[in-house]
Amino acid sequence: MPINRLAVPRPATRLLRLTFPFMVTALCLWVLQDRVALPSPSDLEGLLRGVQLWQWGGALLATCVSFWALGRYDSVAHRHLNTKLDGPRARKSGMASIALSQTVGFGLVTGSYARWRLMPGLSALQSVQLTSFVAVTFLAALAAVCGTACLFGAAGPAMRWTGAAILLAVFGATALSFLFPEISLGKKRFQMPSLTAMAALTVWTVVDVAAAGTALWLLLPQTMDISLPLLLTAYCLALGAAIVSSAPGGVGPFELTLVALLPLAGSEELMAGILAFRLVYYALPALLSGLTLAMPRLIEDAGDHQPSAIRHSAETLPRNRLRSETAVIRQNGGNVLACSSSRLAVLDSPQASIALFDPVAGCAGPAIKPLEHYAKSRNSVVCFYKCSAHTALKARAKGWQVLRIAEEAVLNPLTYSDTGSSRRQLRRKLRQAEKAGLEVRSAAEHLPLGQMQDVDAAWQDSHGRALGTTMGRFEPGYLMGQRIFLGWQEGKIIAFASFHESAGEWCLDLMRIIPGAPDGTGHSLVRAAIDHAKDEGIARLSLAAAPDHRLAPQIDKGLRRFKSCFAPQWEPLYMAAPNWWQMAVSAAELVRLVHRPPRLQQANINTKADPAVPHPHKEDEENEFANARRA
């Protein structure tokens, strides 16, 4: 591939990049020597001999804990980048690469090389992406830790205000990443880490920093009277200065920051403790890392034997599934997930893996563990959404939390009748529509997509932008896989309704009516669908769900009233998640996806018509309708 000469740095620029870290180190050491009295080699040797054996052992144990946490960082990074290489070896390679890069410096180069060397199957580009992800997210998480330390552990109002400002910026950035999970830089699109990934990264950063700071505290000479909270606060800030400086091992900025933040400490004792810390936390891990790089087989493992899940396209939805509404994944980017002996309709979003409704095949019980592992492999939360009581009970038996969120209106077309006082309002609505000249019929093989699109546009002009993700939106290929009923008045289509189909169930999806249509138009569309479902032997017709919670009266806006006209049987629907944190994140993500749906996915066209034609067979459709009226 040709190289763009404009993108190649000039020799002077390359030289500056290479020498800048060393210049920072030299400058900081010069300032440090001018500020404190550094111990002589003989004094330093005596101070190191004063460190007790238990101090060395405790520092070694704290160092192991710190690097154990750092290894988890690479797990999060592998999942975010979808390398499919997450496992014990990935964590060990992450520990080795960080041990090398933090000592040698030039972290992007040395860390990328170490990961590429130790992880078979990892490309050079992926290793650079992993190293960059770890570096950037560690700085962000460290900023949150430093902000917390300044706010609660530092003395002086200036430091507290600084900590509050840092935390406010971190929370703001987190909220923006949730609302805008993808960012564009030119032609490149980058996905932000999920809230689950951010939480994990923050936890591992806290463990890492606390353990490393404890190792330093343990190695300080016993003559120094510095509390652990004070030292941890100073260590967080010193570590941040060392990382930003890019100095090899952070030498210079790290020591200078500690001296500045610990003014009461004896300089000679502090320098001795820092030297002991560098031997335990930098030199020893670097030697082990070099040994690992020389013999990568030292970190070989037998692999991760977690229950797996396999993704299939939405077009593999079985015809005989119990819930026809799962076909909504044909336009929201969902997949059919094979979990053990079960199949689930799953929507993968930046924050969550959402299993929609009940399994399309099999039972929910065997699918729960593979589904949890699948979500973990994506750094996402997991939930069942709008599942039945049977699935909710299976989830609760596995320790999940369950919340009732909606009720589904269900009819049996085989036994349905308009008679009875409970359907008195329905009969009145149907008579009003009939007097206004409305006629409803099932759509022919070739859909009048142009006119239907006009109806949809008029409906959106009146009601606002259509909701999405868990609800259908107008898209030709999507509608061609549904059962469509058209409402005609004076030779024009003024309304239509679409229904998901499966072998034993129909479910109402889109209902579009132009402003000014006769009262009862929607009722007539549904009533016609009930008759056709009866003729085809369909024993279950769902009018879809209505909210069933405290906020339902504000959200409902007549939806329940419309469905109640048919006197349906109301069946409860539930949301289930492993814990309340995942429940809350899933609910927030669903609200975002419904009200700010992503770009519409075009469904595969497998029935009825070619959507490329604006008004396919419009004249044929109108002539057929006119002939039917005369007959």
Question: Domain for residue 321, yes or no?
Answer: yes
Q: Which domain holds residue 85?
A: 52-295
Together in a domain, 208 and 332: no
Together in a domain, 180 and 314: no
Together in a domain, 197 and 277: yes
Q: Which pair of tokens denotes residue 177? A: 């990443």
Strands (E) across 173-239 are located at 182-185, 188-191
Domain end, chosen from 359, 385, 407, is at: 407
CB 126 within 8 A of CB 117: no
Name which of 567, 576, 521, 519 is nearest 543 in CA terms: 567
Q: What does the alpha-carbon distance between residue 521 and residue 524 come to, in Å, rounded to a whole number?
A: 5
Together in a domain, 284 and 324: no
Question: Domain for residue 193, yes or no?
Answer: yes
Domain end, chosen from 407, 428, 456, is at: 407
Longest pairwise C-alpha distance within the chain: 112
Together in a domain, 241 and 321: no
**Number of structural domains, the chain?**
3
Q: What does the alpha-carbon distance between residue 95 and residue 114 come to, in Å, rounded to a whole number?
A: 10
Question: Domain for residue 153, yes or no?
Answer: yes
Question: Which string of DSSP letters, residue by residue, matches 371-394?
Answer: HHHHHHTTT-EEEEEEE-HHHHHH
Question: Domain for residue 357, yes or no?
Answer: yes
How far is the CA of 618 from the CAs of 492, 563, 609, in angstroms? Answer: 10, 32, 12
Together in a domain, 490 and 626: yes
CATH of the domain at 464: 3.40.630.30
Each residue of 246-278: b (16+ CB within 10 Å) or e? bbbbbbbbbbbbbbebbeebbbbbbbbbbebbb
CB 368 within 8 A of CB 400: yes
Domain end, chosen from 407, 433, 456, is at: 407
Q: What does the alpha-carbon distance between residue 255 and residue 259 come to, in Å, rounded to a whole number?
A: 6
Together in a domain, 421 and 542: yes
Strands (E) across 378-504 are located at 381-387, 401-411, 439-442, 483-489, 492-501
C-alpha count within 13 angstroms, C-beta hemisphere, residue 471:
18
pTM of the model: 0.82
Together in a domain, 479 and 364: no
Q: What does the alpha-carbon distance between residue 77 and residue 89 come to, in Å, rounded to a whole number?
A: 13
CB 383 within 8 A of CB 354: yes
Together in a domain, 137 and 263: yes
Residue ranges of the chain with per-residue pLDDT less than 50: 1-8, 304, 607-631
Name which of 395, 374, 376 is nearest 385 in CA terms: 395
Place of tokens 């107008």: 474
Together in a domain, 386 and 501: no
Question: Domain for residue 202, yes or no?
Answer: yes
Name which of 182, 47, 48 is nearest 599 in CA terms: 182
Q: What does the alpha-carbon distance between residue 459 and residue 193 come to, in Å, rounded to a whole number?
A: 37
C-alpha count within 13 angstroms, C-beta hemisphere, residue 371:
33
CB 287 within 8 A of CB 64: no
Task: Tell me how many helices (H) and strands (E) the chain has.
Answer: 23, 14
Name which of 341, 337, 397 is nearest 366 in CA terms: 341
Question: Domain for residue 604, yes or no?
Answer: no
Kindly give, in sequence order, each residue whose CB lies less than 8 Å from that of residue 403, ignoring residues fewer than 6 positions away.
574, 575, 576, 583
Together in a domain, 372 and 432: no
Question: Domain for residue 442, yes or no?
Answer: yes
For 573, the 3-state DSSP assignment is: strand
Question: Domain for residue 18, yes or no?
Answer: no
* 166-184 per-position pLDDT tens digit: 889 989 988 988 888 888 7
How high is the pLDDT of residue 314? Answer: 85
For 628, the 3-state DSSP assignment is: helix
Together in a domain, 290 and 315: no
Crossing angle of helices 253-261 and 228-245, in 10° steps, is: 150
